Structure 1
Amino acid sequence: MVCCGLLTAQKEPVPLKSIEVEVEVRDHVATVVSTLNYENKEDKPIEAVFVFPLPGDAAVCHFSAKIGQTQIVAEVKEKQQAREEYDDALSSGQQAFLLEESEQSPDIFTLSVGSLPPGESASIRLEYVTELAVQADDGLRFCLPAVLNPRYQPQESGGSDGASVQVTSVPASLVPYSLSFSARVSSPRPICKVESSCSLDPLQYLNTEQTQATVKLAEGHKFDRDVELLIYYKDAHQPTAVVEAGLASAEPGTLMGNPVVMLSLYPEFPQSLMSSLASCGEFVFLMDRSGSMGSRIRNEDPQTRISSARDTLLLLLKSLPMGCYFNIYSFGSSYEHIFPNSVEYSESTMAEALKKVEAMEANLGGTEILKPLKHIYSQPCIPSQPRQVFVFTDGEVSNTKAVIDLVKQNSGSHRCFAFGIGEGASSALINGLAKEGGGHAQFITGTDRMQPKVMQSLRFALQPAVVDISATWDLPKGVSVTVLSPPLTALFQGQRSLIYAQLTGESSEAAEGSVTLKYCLAGHPSQNQLPFSLKPAEDTGLTVHRLGARSLIRSLEMKERENTEKQDGGVKGKVVELSVQSGVSSSFTAFIVVNKDNGEPIEGPLIRRNIPAPGRHRYMMRCCAPMMDSVTACGFAPQGLPEVLSWNSGHSALSAGAKSRKKGNMFGAMPKLKSQCNSKQSSSNDKTEAKISKDPLLQLVSLQKASGCWLLDPALAAALGKTSKEVERTKPSSVNQEVWATLLALIWLNGFKMDAKEEWELLGLKALSWLRAQNASCVAECMEAGNTLLGCSVQKDVLGL
């Protein structure tokens, strides 16, 4: 098998030696410092290009390099200017480093290390800040992506102005560089625990209050998965405010010169309103069926992503309320839908949909999400049935910004809930879909089950929509506020919302302000107030300023893309100015550093090397390897990044004075190849899945009718672990068969599957609602008989009967 870029022509390893990552978590945000250590072991100068993922909402804010004893710090400059300076430096034999964000997706960066002399080492320091997402169990999620999945390039985007970059995806066991990782956590509230998908050393508390702690990866960690931390605080739902002092050296009145406040809001809704779930709505499920969905969720787990998605759709369809409307789309290189338009939920439409769901395979090629979304939005909305779109994908698209822009354009007519499946799912895509669609994002990685996370989002979708959201500020005289965050479009019970704002003016240290969040829920006006001190917190660095700047930059970038047709260049200028002022990356700027003190110009051609990212796409290597010569990479081409190796050369020489950058996609034939690889993978997975026995819970759920009841038949008896004779013989004579069957199913769920209640709770509520409508008079007798038959002790008050 070809080594996919791991070796040079001289069989030397690529020059990236190690990565060190230090994380500083402060309450809900984190500062991440990555140090990449390079060494050129070749006899010629080298240009190394490392393509790597970051969290989609990260703000890169520092970039520096150390060559020998020389320390040099990068500046943020307009992107084209930075590229030209980089090329100029290489042409004159100087060392240069260029860090830039993809023009298509904000979670992909490339780092070009130019003109590293033979035998020379370089240490590169990259720093970024990011918000931590709140999970279903109130844990804060930090993720260091280990996998940069190949991004599928839609065919109509082939003419993009951006250059292509080759993504090298290799088995983690072959990655020739090591990773060390440590984190320090501090919060106003005690830290309960820190969990991870990777092995950790024990948590070390730094004070008796347990508000500060450190944790690091255990020895021997292989970089074969995302490094995911889940951090749990006591009283996590308390709203907080952090005021951060401005930079003393910055110009007064500017964003970096003024204080910035970060508000963390947890609105509490009246329980009387939240207990009632909506019985209407149009639910559109959009399922990824690209070839990569045929991959296993985990190496040790025989279940694939697509099989887990099928099980999830089963639970969703069984949990929908009578009277709603629904449709199911699936997509790859093309897309399909089960019904021409959304249909009313009934026994017949549910059965038809489930039959087609059972036949779904990961056999639709690439990942083109834009076209099915456009088709969904082209369908007229159904009166009094608010549209809710659920998107399931492993997030491997290159036109992320175009997809998010489309969702935002249609945000007034729907809510979008997004689910990233497996490691390597683009956080920029998943978080962006939910944020701009006024919904909620979930990630399914490691040992996570997809079903409980999806069902939590369905509960959110069934909650009454919060409308007319506004924030009112009450500040001392002489102090004004400029909100940096986009307006809030969605609020959910128990979910955090972050707001950044710049404070201008003078106030005393003892001064206080407040913000009042006003909204309307189910026709009832409500409000929550958060008072806070205007005195800046000590020792917070500039994390809040940078995240506030990033929030404003992202909003302006989206506005600029909307204004492209109007030829309005003013917004781009504002982004560049804000990016340079704050030192935060944007799609229009890049970090450039040139070492002008490295002696005489280097003679000879410059060799270019591609640094691989660990990945799971081994089947692609097997399929692609016979077609490649020399040392090639295995992956597909995201747009908008510097060009790296050609397909047939492992060490193409670049003249030191070359300035031209080729445009366009050099992998025009690849989507077809990917489809061929995917079909081989799918057939292999089919055989694996055929050996997997049906989960007993899903077996029982699959038998429920759309109305919420179960029928008394042999299939139900088998799902309960009983014979038909046992089930029929123990039925009280005065009760009808459907009531008996439904009570048995509910007793079994409550007696044996309480650990999975999040998955079946909604369909259980539907069953209880059906039971109450039957006005059955012998519930107590049935409960006693059912408990005896199944060996349970479930009380009728537990069921609410």
Structure 2
Amino acid sequence: MMARPELHAAAELPGAMLLPHTATLPPVPLEHTTIAIDVVGPLATTQVTQCFRNSHTAPLDALYVFPLPAEAAVTGFRLRVGQRVIEGSLRPQAEAQASFEAAAARGADAALLARQRPNLFSLEVANLQPGELVETELNFFSQVPFDDGWFTLTMPTVVLPRYQPAAAPTGPKEGQVPLLPKDAPGHTLSMQISLDVGRKLQLETQGFPCETIEQRGRTLVRLSDPAAVPDRDALLRYRPAGEGYAAATFAYRAAGQAGATLLMLTPRALPSNAEILPRELLFVFDRSGSMAGDSIVQARNALRACLRALNPDDTFNIFPFDNVVEQLAPAPLPFTQAALDQADQFIAQIHARGGTEIAGAIGQALSQPRDPQRLRMIVFLTDGAVGNEDRVLQQLAAQLNEARVFAFGLGSAVNRFLLDRLATIGRGCAEYILNDEPIEPAVERFQRRAGMPLLRDLSVDWGGALVREALPEPLPDLYAGQPLVLLARYAATRDQATTVTIKGRTAQGSYSEQLALELPLATPDRGGAWAALPQLWARARLEALEDEARLAASEHSKHRDQAAALALEYGLLSAHTSFVAIEEAPADADGRRSDQKIVVPVHLPAGTRREAFEPEPGPLGGQHFAAMRVARSAALPKGLKSLASRSGMSAMLLGSAAADEDEGTAAMFAPSMAQADERSAAPCEPPRSAAQRREAALRFLGRTQGANGTWADDERATVLALLAFIHSGHSPTKGTFRPQVRRAATWLEQRPENPWINLALRALTGQLSPTQLSAAATTELETLGLSLNEISARQQNSGDGNGGVLGPKANPQRPDAMTIGLTACLALLV
């Protein structure tokens, strides 16, 4: 993510705060965060309670920077001091900041909640008294995304420090937060989610171990550990039964106010069987320091899997970037085995290093001469840990030129706002893969969608209803499995019943679908999350205004004024409004004023390498410090700036690049990051369960298939791999690995008959039972004089060879026939 940091004496670090790396680090004032989420249908109501305690002998201030979902509509804030509750009020940002600073100077209890970025917030608490327990509570509403039949609720819990390029305009460096020293205790997390979504077919959790309880028609999901470490995103996926959310409408209207409606429609249009257009895929691969560890390995394997999913007429190129951009070849390569071998060797040499200069990578990829015979697609593989999102989005919009954009977000704390916006501007999709999550389902969705959209040129006819300001505008293209989701305001003097007509174009021709919509004059029987529909519409409108301002700088002041007025009208925290909670200072306030300030350090995001953000500890004046070299002109976030002005210190700007950063500095950092990758790729014990071992073996086979459909150009190994996929329920027409099965089947059907070919053809036509499929693997192992236990012990459980059964000299990037055969046998027998 950034160039190698250096140690400096404090006097040499203008604009940086030094954090001691010893056991004497002052206790963190934030003790615990409690998150309670209530889901009703497609809407979620969330309460976040943060508990601060001052264990010092004097008053202090605390500043905490934390993430929330970018789509969160924050509507409430309060401060609790002992038995006293201080309700927060929403004010224009400058007014809230001034009121907070004045209250802090008086010695009053005060807290300020501000938005630093679309998915990054700061909370400052002033004058925490010795031994005092203070709780802050914020509330927000959100719409749970629905895609491919699944709802996915994401709750981020930690900030990944973001890189700010030296060339970026001087301004606030939000998102730069100190990390907790290694093994130092930090704050903890508890979370509970209550689901009321009707009957469910399936429910999955990722990120944290969870337990599930069915209770009076609701499903409760909570973290197994009530004192978990907040160091990753928490994900809950659930798939409702039936077609209830394939076409659904919801409405809410308070008396005397404009109403709001939410419409969800998953089109019934079928994917096209027409000839697939040839594509030119340009993979923009993030190799910056923040990717070190699990993320870079996951990215390499995701790229290998994407290459195996290409079509015969596709071309591709790879652009690894940190603060230097390279590329695989001068021009896109055809999908051949020679090109795959070249790409595999190139990918194996990609290690994390340097800074996240994503704008330069976009510029280089999109400046390549375009092939008019192919549909150009830009595919990002990144954690999005950059601080200049606006510059990146502006550059993409300026250079896109009809290309489509897809993104894979990799890691435990991805900047989802950036990747979602990249995909929106590029009329594509974003996929997110946690470090411990299989990549193949996301790659399969990418392959299914990375052609022409299912529906284009959409329009909506509201049937004469008084509906206005429907969002999003313009309407997006839709890919297979994606719903059209609309939020709109409505006004009428009576109840309205209308028919909404959605029209568009598919590969087969025109498309039209209708949906009944009720728009009541008032909804007194509805409350809770439904009452948030007007605020969710307003949050979507604020997002649209920000997008317009981002891409039309000349009208920035007009958009700002509109956004500020809208946020105040609907009571929403925004870039232009903040919540402030203040209690009048008592008579003895002089002794309550703080002269100690602590910026709450955050946990190292799971799966990342500490080396990416700080150097190894070393002696410096009897104490060890971690500090980043920063540009002298670096400014501070508003919250950090106000805190620093009263304390004489400033925030540690993790990830700021010095103005004289160059390729040599990045190269100096590369060896330690490469070693970190190698440590993460070291062999270890096989996965614990048989199912995990089998799936890992299949994933290894899936990303090592040759361009011609074989494995290692070996007939026997190819048949064994095919049998392994069929044994696990995959076929040429179904399953995550159907492209691999289809390609292998095509090759085998062209081969002359022999016992192995006949075995494969019988398996493809369903003539073999699972027992007969497994028998082929048993016979193969007996021939080799090996046992299942022996090959299980060889299976890799991390790194580039994850899932493969490797011999002592095997190359995981170019596995031989023996490696393929043994891996397939394991998948068939385990």
- Band the TM-score falls in, shorter-chain normalisation: 0.7 to 0.9
Q: Distance in 1 between matches of 2:20 and 2:35?
A: 22
Question: Which one is further off, 701-710 or 307-316?
Answer: 701-710
Q: Aligned residue for 1:562?
A: 551
Q: Distance in 2 between matches of 1:21 and 1:631?
A: 35
Q: Distance in 2 between matches of 1:628 and 1:240?
A: 64
State which of 490, 507, 511 in structure 2 corresponds to 1:526: 511
Q: Distance in 2 between matches of 1:666 and 1:784?
A: 57
Q: Aligned residue for 1:487?
A: 474
Q: Does residue 185 of the first structure (1) align with residue 178 of the second (2)?
A: no
Pairwise CA distance, 1:164: 5.5
Q: Distance in 2 between matches of 1:662 and 1:292?
A: 19
Q: Distance in 2 between matches of 1:661 and 1:360?
A: 35
Pairwise CA distance, 1:262: 0.8
Check the 8 A contact 1:455/1:758 in 2, yes or no: no
Q: Distance in 1 between matches of 2:275 and 2:742?
A: 10
Q: For the structure 1 residues 143 and 468, does the alpha-carbon distance in structure 2 shift closer, same or farther, using more than 3 Å as the test?
A: closer
Q: Aligned residue for 1:299?
A: none
Q: Aligned residue for 1:727?
A: none
Q: Distance in 1 between matches of 2:312 and 2:356?
A: 33
Residue identity matched to 2:572: V
Q: Aligned residue for 1:332?
A: 322
Q: Does residue 641 of the first structure (1) align with residue 637 of the second (2)?
A: yes
Pairwise CA distance, 1:584: 1.6
Q: Aligned residue for 1:579?
A: 567
Q: Does residue 265 of the first structure (1) align with residue 265 of the second (2)?
A: yes
Q: For the structure 1 residues 79 and 378, does the alpha-carbon distance in structure 2 shift closer, same or farther, using more than 3 Å as the test?
A: farther
Q: Distance in 1 between matches of 2:432 and 2:561?
A: 35
Q: Aligned residue for 2:133?
A: 121
Pairwise CA distance, 1:320: 1.2
Residue identity matched to 2:768: S
Residue identity matched to 1:148: V
Q: Aligned residue for 1:280?
A: 278
Q: Does residue 749 of the first structure (1) align with residue 745 of the second (2)?
A: no
Q: Note the alpha carbon deviations across 1:472-529, whole angstroms, 9 max, x for none.
A: 21144xx333213232222122223321000012222xx3223222111115111222
Matches within 5 A, 1:580-619: 580-603=568-591, 606-616=595-605, 617-619=609-611
Q: For the structure 1 residues 269 and 412, does the alpha-carbon distance in structure 2 shift closer, same or farther, using more than 3 Å as the test?
A: farther
In the superposition, the TM-score normalised over structure 1's length comes to 0.81
Q: For the structure 1 residues 203 and 699, does the alpha-carbon distance in structure 2 shift closer, same or farther, using more than 3 Å as the test?
A: closer
Check the 8 A contact 2:375/2:403 in 1, yes or no: yes
Q: Note the alpha carbon deviations across 1:527-558, whole angstroms, 9 max, x for none.
A: 22221222347224432222211111011012
Q: Aligned residue for 2:790?
A: none
State which of 105, 108, 111 in structure 1 corresponds to 2:123: 111
Check the 8 A contact 2:164/2:655 in 1, yes or no: no
Q: Does residue 230 of the first structure (1) align with residue 237 of the second (2)?
A: yes
Q: For the structure 1 residues 464 and 21, does the alpha-carbon distance in structure 2 shift closer, same or farther, using more than 3 Å as the test?
A: closer
Matches within 5 A, 1:667-682: 667-669=656-658, 679-682=671-674
State which of 61, 73, 88 in structure 2 corresponds to 1:74: 88
Residue identity matched to 1:76: L
| Structure 2: stretches of 5+ with no match in the other structure | 1-6, 8-16, 687-692, 774-830
Check the 8 A contact 1:165/1:639 in 2, yes or no: no
In the superposition, the TM-score normalised over structure 2's length comes to 0.78
Check the 8 A contact 1:309/1:450 in 2, yes or no: no
Pairwise CA distance, 1:463: 4.9
Q: Note the alpha carbon deviations across 1:187-211, whole angstroms, 9 max, x for none.
A: 255575453443333322323xxxx
* Number of aligned residues: 729
Matches within 5 A, 1:233-632: 233-235=240-242, 238-248=245-255, 252=256, 257-270=257-270, 273=272, 275-276=273-274, 278-296=276-294, 305-362=295-352, 364-409=353-398, 413-445=402-434, 447-464=436-453, 466-476=455-465, 479-508=466-495, 511-535=496-520, 536=523, 538-541=526-529, 542-564=531-553, 566=554, 568-603=556-591, 606-616=595-605, 617-619=609-611, 623-626=615-618
Check the 8 A contact 1:414/1:437 in 2, yes or no: yes
Pairwise CA distance, 1:279: 4.3
Q: Distance in 2 between matches of 1:53 and 1:174?
A: 21
Q: For the structure 1 residues 346 and 667, does the alpha-carbon distance in structure 2 shift closer, same or farther, using more than 3 Å as the test?
A: closer
Q: Does residue 205 of the first structure (1) align with residue 215 of the second (2)?
A: yes
Pairwise CA RMSD = 4.0
Pairwise CA distance, 1:449: 1.1
Q: Does residue 706 of the first structure (1) align with residue 718 of the second (2)?
A: no
Q: Aligned residue for 1:683?
A: 675
Q: Distance in 2 between matches of 1:550 and 1:258?
A: 15
Q: For the structure 1 residues 645 and 545, does the alpha-carbon distance in structure 2 shift closer, same or farther, using more than 3 Å as the test?
A: closer
Q: Aligned residue for 2:14?
A: none
State which of 172, 178, 181 in structure 2 corresponds to 1:162: 172
Check the 8 A contact 2:162/2:175 in 1, yes or no: no
Q: Aligned residue for 2:779?
A: none
Question: Which one is further off, 748-757 or 527-536?
Answer: 748-757
Check the 8 A contact 2:178/2:652 in 1, yes or no: no
State which of 757, 764, 773 in structure 1 corresponds to 2:741: 764
Question: Which one is further off, 525-534 or 344-353?
Answer: 344-353
Q: For the structure 1 residues 134 and 409, does the alpha-carbon distance in structure 2 shift closer, same or farther, using more than 3 Å as the test?
A: farther
Matches within 5 A, 1:26-65: 26-65=40-79
Q: Note the alpha carbon deviations across 1:632-676, whole angstroms, 9 max, x for none.
A: 667899976236499xxxxx98648x9x99999995549788876
Q: Distance in 2 between matches of 1:761 and 1:11?
A: 54
Residue identity matched to 1:145: P
Q: For the structure 1 residues 483 and 792, does the alpha-carbon distance in structure 2 shift closer, same or farther, using more than 3 Å as the test?
A: same
Q: For the structure 1 residues 689 and 113, does the alpha-carbon distance in structure 2 shift closer, same or farther, using more than 3 Å as the test?
A: same
Pairwise CA distance, 1:335: 1.4
Q: For the structure 1 residues 7 and 19, does the alpha-carbon distance in structure 2 shift closer, same or farther, using more than 3 Å as the test?
A: farther
| Structure 1: stretches of 5+ with no match in the other structure | 297-304, 647-651, 721-740
Q: Does residue 218 of the first structure (1) align with residue 224 of the second (2)?
A: yes
What fraction of aligned residue pairs are identical, expressed as a percent? 24
Residue identity matched to 1:750: I
Q: Distance in 2 between matches of 1:177 and 1:690?
A: 31
